[in-house]
Amino acid sequence: MTQLPLRFDFIPYPLWRRRGMPPFFTLWNAVSTADADAHPPLSSAGMAAYMARWHILPGGMDTGAARRALETLPDLPGTPDWTPLEPSQSAAPHLPLRLPAQWEPMEAVILAFPVLYPPLWETHFQMIEAITPAARVDVLIPHPSWAKAILLHLQARGRAALKSVRLLPLPTDDIWVRDYGPFIGFDAEGRRAAVSAIYDPLPTYPQSRDNALADRYAALAGLPLAALDLHTEGGNFWSDGAGTLLLSDDLDHRHQHMTPAAVRDRLQATIGFERLITIPPLRHEETGHVDLAIKLADARTILIAAEAPFNRDRLCEARARLAQATNAAGERFRLIPLPMPAPYLNWGVYPVWRSYTNALTVNGRVLVPTFGIAEDAAALEIYRRTLPDFQIIGIDCRAAANGGGAVHCLTKEVPAEARRRDSD
């Protein structure tokens, strides 16, 4: 990988919290946003000064105007709870759950606001603005004080349906809610319920709040909760809602103490499927997730990253497997290639993969990542041709890509309850 272009871009990862980092990283708090999640500015003046310092004031506002505007906004009730919650007291779901497809009716989308990463604020505002005309957005914040800053921006921008924004003081360790958020589906009786998998992919980083989020959200929503005793993340799942799951081989790699059959049996007991299709994960990509290589566009259509010079063998194998596979209904897939931009080395340490398959479908809209490169236009046009009945919306993910993900990694959908689905 030494021939890759070298860049020095912002890294949306809490490197200062990694165990074993050099002692000088403890000084990072004094000159960065490193402790802003736990210790936010509590006054309007402090918040305005903070936004000015990090160049995230709303457009056209100076510090004084931002302070005055913040003072007019209501306080968000409640305080953050940093301790694990007790399991939900709702009746246990009747397993296995049916995991809906993303093109089914959705009530909400969860995202964790990037208070630690100012370059990602724009990305998250764009996602909120794209989703709220079609669904509620549950914005997770580490402290109620951040609510005013977010609302100030959304009001100043004037493009979000504010009545569909719900700000929730549920602290997390990081922003990749796709991976640690709850799998929400329907049990054997048609009740909406949640599943919590074991989230521990980065043992040198704090993960306890992320690992607790599925239970916290289920308790908040009053959803029955079941545990999935497997080490896995939501970014490694695509479901057609009709018995087909698509994953990468990473699930087996993470459970080498078990046979592949035992892994599948354990998964199937909690998340139901009739057909499980796996593809190889990308090489030199840390997550191993399927959503960086393919997107299930509908029950018979898969968007797949084209066989680029890097990872050509893995992507060719993925295409070959999918070409031979059928969904649970016995139907062959239509495979549509998407551009696969060449990676680059960020800070000379790790390759950054930019994936157009890392997109979110929600209630007639598809949020597609863009990266400020020539391939963006071609990718958006392929989405428009493939899904002509959907509104295709580009989301700027240039900064997010440096953390290993894009739109899909930053969001988690909440399916609509059965009675709403029947009325849609």
191-232 tens-digit pLDDT: 999 999 999 988 888 899 999 999 999 999 999 999 999 999
Distance CA 197, CA 218 (A): 13
For 174, the domain range is: 106-423
- SS3 of residue 32 by DSSP: coil
Q: Is residue 60 part of a domain?
A: no
Mean pLDDT, rounded, for 152-159: 97
Selected residue with higher pLDDT from 310 and 196: 196
H-state helical runs in 23-113: 28-31, 44-53, 63-71
Q: Is the pLDDT of residue 2 over 60?
A: no
How far apart, in Å, do the first and last CA atoms of the chain sit?
49
Q: What is the CATH number of the domain that holds 170?
A: 3.75.10.10
Q: Is residue 11 part of a domain?
A: no
> In the numeric block, which tokens belong to residue 378?
């071609």
> In the numeric block, which tokens belong to residue 205?
């980083």
- Assign 130 a pLDDT band (cuts: 50, 70, 90): very high
- Assign 417 a pLDDT band (cuts: 50, 70, 90): very high
Mean pLDDT, rounded, for 144-166: 96
Distance CA 206, CA 18 (A): 7
Using omega within 30 degrees of 0 as the cis cutoff, is the peptide bond preceding 203 cis? no
- Assign 364 a pLDDT band (cuts: 50, 70, 90): very high
Mean pLDDT, rounded, for 112-132: 97
pLDDT of the residue at 140: 97
H-state helical runs in 245-328: 250-253, 260-270, 312-324
pLDDT of the residue at 116: 93
Mean pLDDT, the chain, rounded, equals 92
Cβ proximity of 374 and 384 under 8 Å: no
Q: Other CB atoms closer than 10 Å to residue 310's CB: what's the count?
A: 21
- The proportion of the chain whose per-residue pLDDT surpasses 90, expressed as a percent, equals 80
27 secondary structure, DSSP code: G
pLDDT of the residue at 424: 54
Q: Where are the beta strands (DSSP E) in 55-171?
A: 106-112, 136-141, 165-169
Ranking 24-33, 270-279, 297-306 by mean pLDDT, the lowest is: 24-33
Cβ proximity of 240 and 328 under 8 Å: yes
pLDDT of the residue at 89: 52
Mean pLDDT, rounded, for 114-120: 95
pLDDT of the residue at 82: 43
pLDDT of the residue at 19: 79
- pTM of the shown model: 0.94
Q: Is residue 284 part of a domain?
A: yes
- What's the total number of domains in the chain? 1
Question: Model confidence over 384-412: pLDDT tens digits?
Answer: 999 999 999 999 999 999 999 999 999 99
Q: Where are the beta strands (DSSP E) in 175-255?
A: 183-186, 192-198, 225-231, 238-239, 244-248
Q: Is residue 65 part of a domain?
A: no
Mean pLDDT, rounded, for 136-165: 96
- Give which of 374, 215, 363, 244 is closest to 302, Cα–Cα: 244
- Give which of 395, 415, 412 is closest to 130, Cα–Cα: 395
Q: Is the pLDDT of residue 5 over 80?
A: yes
Distance CA 223, CA 85 (A): 14
Characterize the bridge pairing of strands 275-279 and 244-248: parallel
Task: Name the residue type at position 162.
Answer: L
Q: Is residue 351 part of a domain?
A: yes
Distance CA 247, CA 277 (A): 6
- Assign 36 a pLDDT band (cuts: 50, 70, 90): confident
Question: Model confidence over 258-280: pLDDT tens digits?
Answer: 999 999 999 999 999 999 999 99
Distance CA 237, CA 278 (A): 10
Q: Is the pLDDT of residue 25 over 60?
A: no
